[in-house]
Amino acid sequence: MGPHREVQKNLSDPENQGSGQTSRSDKEMRDRSLVEAALYVTGRPLELRTLGSVLGTRSKKRARSVVEAVKQSYDSRTGALEIVELSDERFVLQLKPKFVEHVRRLATRPLLTSGPLRTLAYIAYRQPVIQSQVISVRGSHAYDHIRILETMGLVENERFGRTKLLRTTRIFSDYFNLSHDLTAMKRQLRSIFNIVEKESSTPVGQQ
């Protein structure tokens, strides 16, 4: 039998076809597992580009196809976790909101205490904002808050005359599952603040 006939025989052999299908299926399962692992281990939103690098592809279409398959798998479950698509083509693996209140007390120590968190909220909503304005609103203790926030990589500054211009970083956006787009981020923050202020008599940023 010539080489050409041998190739034709192999291609038409049901066992070989089945082997090819199994191989593709194994790769799809492995890719889904890689995406799930990446979202789990980082604990923050990941861009399609980043997920594509984990999969070894530059195709955002391919990366989206895989992550959406994983998302659909989570959507079909009755478990406590979900995969959510955020703006800017980012995805995050997180606890479903309805379970948060039940396990909040078991969570690890908060990232920030109330004071620095409120200063961060003010900067995020007003950004870019000059440091002197933050101090005027939040008080002199905000100097310490800003140093903490900059050390943690949540806030960055640039010189602006005799003061500094403050804004949040991508780390801030990723940690709090917010958009990288400033306009969209402020809409999200406004919605969050409205909820908080309904539960408190003191507006956010005034304490």
- Count of C-beta atoms within a 10 Å radius of residue 63: 25
Contacts of 139 (CB under 8 A, 6+ apart): none
Amino acid letter at 80? A
SS3 83: strand
User: Which tokens go with 131?
Assistant: 């440091």
What is the pLDDT at residue 3? 47
Can you give the pLDDT at residue 120? 92
Residue 201 has pLDDT above 60, yes or no: no
CATH 1.10.10.10 fits 114-199, yes or no: yes
Question: Where does residue 104 rank: exposed (0-12), middle (13-18), buried (19+ CB within 10 A)?
Answer: exposed
Sheet holding 129-130, edge to edge: 129-130, 163-168, 155-160
Dihedral sign for Cα atoms in the order 8, 13, 15, 17:
positive
pLDDT at 176: 82
152 pLDDT more than 70: yes
pLDDT at 26: 87
Between 3.30.930.10, 3.40.50.20, 1.10.10.10, 2.70.98.70, what CATH number should domain 3-103 receive?
Answer: 1.10.10.10
Q: Are 81 and 96 in contact (CB under 8 A)?
A: yes
pLDDT at 14: 53
pLDDT bucket at 95, cuts 50 / 70 / 90: confident
Domain boundaries, the chain: 3-103, 114-199
Contacts of 31 (CB under 8 A, 6+ apart): 55, 66
Same topology between domain 3-103 and domain 114-199: yes
CA 149 remoteness from chain centre: 19
**pLDDT on residue 135:** 93
- Mean of pLDDT values over 135-146: 92
Whose tokens are 């991508």? That residue is 170
